[in-house]
Amino acid sequence: MSRIAVIPARGGSKGIPKKNLALLQGQPMISYTIHAARQSGLFDGILVSSDDPEILDYAMGCGVLGVQRPAELARDDSPTEPTVLHAMDWWAEAQRSEPEVVCLLQPTSPLRTSRDILDAEKLFTQCGADSLLSVTEKREFHWRVDGGRAIPAWDISHRPRRQKLEPIYVENGAIYITRSPIYREQKNRLGGKMVLYPMPPERSVDIDEPFDLRLAEGLLHSQGIQS
């Protein structure tokens, strides 16, 4: 089946200025996602969607396609789905064909590897899924606050061992694989038959604040990962 990868990388960022070009081990953060997508060998096209000329120039220098994102899709409050649909339209016009599957790879997940992408695609295909999302498993003692009171989500009179807690799965933002009709008809990256692709915590860092950048730097160094 025909597949494209879409890497959304706008120029603005509140937590970290020019976040997508922030350096990790001397390389722009976005380079790790571009490298993983290219190394997977899965895609008919890899599209970096950005409003920032510097990001677009860098992406095309890496051998992938640059898609000029309209300003109205690059605001702080702009959702991701319209950006993916814009990239799909760009590809369909250029290639005169609609991709069957779209893989959304956010550049803020630089520790995701090409092996993750390949394994996620294999799971997606084997399960006959319509959409897939990457997650990390957590077993934690959750609480909520109601009217100023702390409310446990577990029985405090019989505190279980952490290993006995029911696992929950949290989106890590690294990989979304979606059949094109889901985007077209539902305007959503998720829909139809959904499956989860679990990833370990050390590859699930989603960079939003300077602390996340330092954490990713340390993990990349300890794992010997290069872009």
Q: Is residue 29's pLDDT more than 80?
A: yes
Q: What average pLDDT does the segment 103-123 reach?
A: 97
Q: What is the DSSP string of the chain?
A: --EEEEEE--S--SSSTTGGG-EETTEEHHHHHHHHHHHHT--SEEEEEES-HHHHHHHHHTTSEEEE--GGGSSTT--SHHHHHHHHHHHHHHHSS--SEEEE--TT-TT--HHHHHHHHHHHHHTT-SEEEEEEEE----EEEETTEEEESS-GGGPPPGGGSPPEEEEEEEEEEEEHHHHHHHSSS--SSEEEEE--GGG-----SHHHHHHHHHHHHHHT---
Predicted model pTM? 0.91
Q: What average pLDDT does the segment 4-12 reach?
A: 93
Average pLDDT, rounded, for the chain: 92
Whole-number pLDDT of residue 165: 76
Which residues are part of the catalytic machinery? 159
Residue 36 pLDDT level (bands cut at 50, 70, 90): very high
Whole-number pLDDT of residue 14: 75
Whole-number pLDDT of residue 84: 97
Tens digits of residue pLDDT in 46-104 = 999 999 999 999 999 999 999 999 989 988 888 999 999 999 999 999 999 999 999 99
Q: For the chain, list the domains and their CATH numbers.
A: 3-135+170-220 (3.90.550.10)
